[in-house]
Amino acid sequence: MDEQKLLERITVNPNIFGGKPIIRGRRLAVEQVLGMLAAGDTPDILLQGYPWLEKEDILACLTYARRLVGNERIEPLKIESAA
């Protein structure tokens, strides 16, 4: 899967975590995934802890972080709430 397709998994919803980047509209922030990986959790542990999470979601978080620290332009998909 190419980077652009991976990054489409990262979304922003102003009603979830104050608009922080999240994974596929779910209540799991990119920073949480990165924090768990930084703390030593393996991707397999994350996949076990979040049954809906996919390997590509983890790769999307890593790609997002790499582009962010590389000062590349990132535009997550913004999802407006119906409320």
CA-CA distance, 48 to 1, in Å (whole number)?
22
The pLDDT of residue 38: 97
69: left (phi over 0), alpha (psi -120 to 50) or beta: alpha
Contact at 8 Å (CB) between 33 and 58? yes
Whether the CB-CB separation of 23 and 53 falls below 8 Å is answered with yes
Q: Give the distance between the most distant pair of CA atoms in the chain.
A: 38
Q: What is the pLDDT of residue 76?
A: 66
Q: Which CATH number fits domain 3-78: 3.40.309.10, 3.40.50.300, 1.10.10.10, 3.30.1330.10?
A: 1.10.10.10
Full-model pTM: 0.82
- Encode the chain (83 residues) as per-residue pLDDT tens digits: 899 999 999 999 999 999 999 999 999 999 999 999 999 999 999 999 999 999 999 999 999 999 988 876 767 667 776 65
Contact predicate 49/28, CB 8 Å = no
DSSP label of 75: -
